[in-house]
Amino acid sequence: MKKLLCFLLILSILAVSSCSKKNDNEIDSENTGSETLSVSDIKKIDKIENINYKNIKCDLLEVKLDTDAEKVYNYTWSYYPFLNSNDFYNDFSGALSNIFPEHTINEKAMVFNGARFRELQTEFNNKMEPIEKEINQKVTEMVSEGVIDSSQAIEYSKQLRKEYIEEHPEIQYKIPSVADYKDSIVSGEEDVKFLIYTEEEVETVNGERKIFFESQSPVGNGIFIMQKGLWVEEYFTKNGLEVPFLETIFPDSKLEKIGDYDISSEEKVKLLDKEVTVKEAVEAFEKDVNSYDFSDKINKDTEIVACAVSSYKLKDDIVVLKFLCTLKYKGIQRDYLPFNCSYFGSAGYPVYCFGYMVKSDEADVLYNYPRVMKAEEQEVFEEVISPEKALQTVSENLTQEVEFELKDVQLVYFSEDRSYELGREGFEKVKIKTTPEWKFSLYNKNDERYYYAFVHAGDGSGFHYFSLTFD
């Protein structure tokens, strides 16, 4: 209900904006700034001041536009096509050795999603079909008789399904092992799109800590999950707990949250090996993840950078740090969404990447590796419109009936949302349009929401925005 009310409020703002044609006297700013500036001069901007539009106010805002970019680009990016199964197997094996150079690899721990896996899934689904009907009928009757509430139906169905599977182990199946189907993979008979290295059911050599690695073909293309096992060893192994399948198990799903930090914070935190400042941890994390050299498909014009940091209690006064990350392309970051938020409107196709650190010199967990991508530049800009000029465009396009407070200014790359086409047409066939844009963070105290407004930095076109609340 709350989200519906918020959505209606947004519609009302749009309606006012679209129905009210602004005249010059409706816009009153003491400083619209210069019209354009060189991209190389962007880093010199350290403040925005005297913003006094009817609908946007700001006396003084200190900003840090930290970029060494000399140019910005309209470009498209896309994923790589799938490799044949044998090439992907070699690609994956090479990445394992590159990312886990000191770990003894056990091929029995490597499993795959291919033709055999789909056969097993189909067999399982066929066996479960009549059981599902019985479960659904039973739950429906329980709801009609008032034994359970309708809001509990889905969770109760899941519980009955879980209990049945546990009581009938003969219908269960495991993801097939590469070791059992090696010949089929090498020959190409198996159409392998995903490979997983998981040690929850195998013994490691000389008690090495258990690791996890998963990737779509080729390595880093879309799906990439790496766990080096430090937090797993401390939380699971040393406490006598069974190590689970780590595909969706991350530190913040098990540990108590301590706090949030800016990436430049000088506050000290204690990691497993020593105490460091948050800023030092960010620098070490970025250095480590950008040093990976597991593929010739890593785009050398990119780097992974941290945007926000949180800490979680591992044991005593030792923490795990979580990093929200994005991708920097030739000196400019792609837009991203903060932790724990809900948004309304089109947020585009932001980078979804995060990682964790337990020791001071390396990432222990990394989810996604967006540096694996193809970029095609369409148009280059050596000059951009000034942020003040872009802000004037924002003011002209927002309703004049609400006063927004300017909170932040950034220059970002914004990618259009083509997630639907990616799923329908295949990763490699979709080119995602990406443009350099001024991003303004605006706060509306009336509904206590943040609004993020964008204007194309190269030509001043394409105003759009979305709103956000924190969960």
Gap between the Cα atoms of 303 and 307, Å rounded: 13
User: Helices in 20-114 by DSSP H: which ranges?
Assistant: 85-99
Say if residue 289's pLDDT is above 60: yes
Q: How far apart are CA 352 and CA 364, in angstroms?
A: 18
pLDDT of residue 425: 58
* Secondary structure element (H or E) that encloses residue 444, with its range: strand 432-444
pLDDT tens figures, 303-335: 999 999 999 999 999 999 999 999 999 999 999
- The rounded percent of the chain whose pLDDT value lies above 70 is 89
Q: Is 316 left (phi over 0), alpha (psi -120 to 50) or beta?
A: left
Q: What is the SS3 string spanning 179-212?
A: CCCHHHHHHCCCCCCEEEEECCCCCCHHHCCCCE
pLDDT digits (tens, 9 = 90+) for 179-222: 888 998 888 888 898 999 999 888 888 888 999 999 999 999 88
- Contact criterion met (CB below 8 Å) for 371 and 29: no
- 8 Å CB contact between 346 and 466: yes
Give yes or no for residue 290 having a pLDDT over 90.
yes
Question: Is the pTM for the entire model greater than 0.85?
Answer: no
Q: What one-letter code names the amino acid at 463?
A: F
